[in-house]
Structure 1
């Protein structure tokens, strides 16, 4: 009996050792398969989802900002497996991305994300107030035909982002992971996935049939997917005014100051964001007190009296931030297996607060294109089909982009008398009310994405300015200024339209990609 027991113990020990060795071999083989490029083996940090082999993601999303988070949730809600990699999952602290236009809110509703502006002390925005030389005019959003919930929203950017990330990560088929994507994985001109380092610094490869890059304005991946032509016309200097009552509650405020506009809007029930535009790429130094002096001596006297004390207190508090304002037209290189979205793809001057509206609209367009497709593995066919995305996005994107660039130039002071006449004409035109204010404000709000309407109103302002110059008695000098005004208006808007693409902007139905049909699965 003793011998049999001893043999049993020895046999059991050998079997246990063989079992453990087998497990180690299988684990080693799995790691080798990943290193060799097998599809997606990684950890689900939020929802406990782990997959390998054929169970990998359908889409990899790079970046979990507004575009990335909204895209991941939208695709995940449609049943797609999404792996989203974000460099930093802590709450961001930025001075832009705080104002969502009504058109953007409607897109949130369409995507099922409207609850992301709840429980963050977001403020309803009902329109704008313009101030110039002691005069002011209030411009309401044309919201009469919409549900009472529809309005703009303003909030702390970071709170909004965290709500979006939580919403995306709540889906069992969406994996949200902190990591830095260092490069795209390409094979024979097709993007197969990404290389990224996780929070611990370990390098991984993730594979999916479609990779969507949404890594923001500082994107290091966009160069292989588009022709980036980034312009920096100005910078914003940001402050927060505390316990300050705006002249027009629940409205954005635009001060047509010298040399360029100043913005105010609420971001919580007790805080007002102020953004001072400083033209050019150089701003006064924060370190040596030059910035504080600039704000106190040049900017503060141009503000409405009601805001001056709170503005000066904010300067003395010292929490002054700066950020370069970037614009970049969308010039994509259609690439099998990859797509650009958000600020990585297209930027405009943030004066009009249209960036998030464009991003959310783009997501809605893309999701509608992808919805009929269950299999995304035919990269060349999918790439050809998604060329229609670049045309279908144009009505919203080109309207908001063009308006942002044109308004910034019109609202900025100039030594040119004709440009200043255009600036005054714009203020007076909007002050007329009715169709003269409703039309431009509906364009600004993203509620009326019609490029032809934008061009019509822009040149109506120019003609209105010329008419004011020539009445009651025209003179050669006034006629010359009027001619320069029309010429200057053309010089402002035509280059922007050219960069957006005349054919795609005004005649999209003539573009072959407009009629692309889904590839057969």
Structure 2
């Protein structure tokens, strides 16, 4: 596949070419960073462009199944971040409970799921990505895809200094999350959102069963608990509505007290 040798021009003016690579990955969250590491280990030249290389503060992507723990170099990524062992979940409904454990009989004792702070895990994973000589990890904001005859050839992006750059690759993979500004050019953009998850952090308390998350099948919606550090538990409450109650004016606190807590 041939690539343009001259710098490209887009609507905002001239952009400086930074060469070609095998694969461009937009976004270095869990999916993008894990994919970059796997492809880099296979010998591909990869350029990863991430909008913000600081540790994210998110409640998504806070757990690995045992399979995820064993893959993509995740084992040492959960070291030194106070990750917690996860053996399965206990389901609760109408005063009854059922424990669902991961099938770990054929594995060594250290193999289990893991739960953790998302930002701590991602920073460890990014560090592994950056250690590969054939992978470039840089901070920048992709402004547009470069398309010719319906084929994506590369991307325009601004680096950390605001400089407009262009890079090309035979394959571009977009992993920039649920709020992507590129998806409307790649797929049907209308999304129906029947509900949202709201996250709380509980400190210095214990789950009913050690090393097991808890799923409460209750009205009006399910609630999930799991440990994210030795002193913190994540509580995820599903809000079955297209409109999330406001936190700033107290609507969320009222909703949790009157609709969820009972």
Q: Same fold (TM over 0.5)?
A: yes
Which position in structure 2 is the counterpart of 1:64? 28
Once the 2 structures are TM-superposed, how far is the Cα of residue 135 of structure 1 from its aligned partner? 2.3
Deviates more, 1:209-218 or 1:142-151: 142-151
Which position in structure 2 is the counterpart of 1:224? 185
Maintained 8 Å contact 2:220/2:259: no
Which position in structure 2 is the counterpart of 1:282? 243
Output the CA distance in 2 between the equivalents of 1:64 and 1:100. Answer: 17
Question: 1:193 aligns to what SS in structure 2?
Answer: strand
Bigger helix share: 1
Question: 2:219 aligns to what SS in structure 1?
Answer: coil
Maintained 8 Å contact 2:153/2:169: yes
Which position in structure 1 is the counterpart of 2:212? 251
Matches within 5 A, 1:353-502: none
Output the CA distance in 1 between the equivalents of 2:150 and 2:249. Answer: 50
**Are 1:89 and 2:43 matched, yes or no?**
no
Maintained 8 Å contact 2:202/2:232: yes
Output the CA distance in 1 between the equivalents of 2:249 and 2:151. Answer: 50
Once the 2 structures are TM-superposed, how far is the Cα of residue 134 of structure 1 from its aligned partner? 2.3
Q: Which has the higher contact order (CA 8 A, sep 6+)?
A: 2
Q: Return closer, same or farther for 1:212/1:190 CA change in 2, 3 Å cut-off.
A: same
Q: Among 105, 113, 136, which residue is 2:74 paired with?
A: 113
Higher-Rg member (1/2)? 1
Question: 1:233 aligns to what SS in structure 2?
Answer: coil
Q: Please, which runs of 5 or more residues in structure 2 have no aligned partner?
A: 11-15
Output the CA distance in 1 between the equivalents of 2:60 and 2:148. Answer: 37
Which position in structure 2 is the counterpart of 1:204? 165
Matches within 5 A, 1:116-131: 116-131=77-92
Bigger strand share: 2
Question: 2:142 aligns to what SS in structure 1?
Answer: strand
Q: Among 189, 211, 227, which residue is 2:150 paired with?
A: 189
Question: 2:32 aligns to what SS in structure 1?
Answer: helix
Once the 2 structures are TM-superposed, how far is the Cα of residue 41 of structure 1 from its aligned partner? 4.6
Output the CA distance in 1 between the equivalents of 2:150 and 2:242. Answer: 37
Question: 2:208 aligns to what SS in structure 1?
Answer: coil
Output the CA distance in 2 between the equivalents of 1:293 and 1:227. Answer: 36
Maintained 8 Å contact 2:89/2:212: yes
Q: Among 158, 162, 174, which residue is 2:119 paired with?
A: 158
TM-score (norm 2): 0.90
Once the 2 structures are TM-superposed, how far is the Cα of residue 235 of structure 1 from its aligned partner? 1.0
Which position in structure 2 is the counterpart of 1:357? none
Which position in structure 2 is the counterpart of 1:266? 227
Output the CA distance in 2 between the equivalents of 1:288 and 1:216. Answer: 28
Which position in structure 2 is the counterpart of 1:291? 252
Output the CA distance in 1 between the equivalents of 2:29 and 2:132. Answer: 17
Output the CA distance in 2 between the equivalents of 1:36 and 1:130. Answer: 56
Which position in structure 2 is the counterpart of 1:462? none
Once the 2 structures are TM-superposed, how far is the Cα of residue 147 of structure 1 from its aligned partner? 2.5
1:388-425 Cα shifts (integer Å, max 9, x gaps):
xxxxxxxxxxxxxxxxxxxxxxxxxxxxxxxxxxxxxx
Once the 2 structures are TM-superposed, how far is the Cα of residue 230 of structure 1 from its aligned partner? 2.4
Output the CA distance in 1 between the equivalents of 2:59 and 2:160. Answer: 26
Output the CA distance in 1 between the equivalents of 2:244 and 2:187. Answer: 29
Output the CA distance in 1 between the equivalents of 2:27 and 2:43. Answer: 20
Output the CA distance in 1 between the equivalents of 2:190 and 2:65. Answer: 26
Which position in structure 2 is the counterpart of 1:149? 110
1:160-187 Cα shifts (integer Å, max 9, x gaps):
1111111101111111111110111112
Q: Please, which runs of 5 or more residues in structure 1 have no aligned partner?
A: 1-31, 43-51, 302-521
Which position in structure 1 is the counterpart of 2:134? 173
Q: Return closer, same or farther for 1:187/1:298 CA change in 2, 3 Å cut-off.
A: closer
Question: 1:232 aligns to what SS in structure 2?
Answer: coil
Which position in structure 2 is the counterpart of 1:436? none
Q: Return closer, same or farther for 1:270/1:177 CA change in 2, 3 Å cut-off.
A: same
Output the CA distance in 2 between the equivalents of 1:228 and 1:251. Answer: 37
Output the CA distance in 2 between the equivalents of 1:80 and 1:291. Answer: 47
Question: 2:261 aligns to what SS in structure 1?
Answer: helix
Output the CA distance in 1 between the equivalents of 2:7 and 2:189. Answer: 33
Output the CA distance in 1 between the equivalents of 2:252 and 2:188. Answer: 35
Which position in structure 1 is the counterpart of 2:95? 134
Once the 2 structures are TM-superposed, how far is the Cα of residue 229 of structure 1 from its aligned partner? 5.0
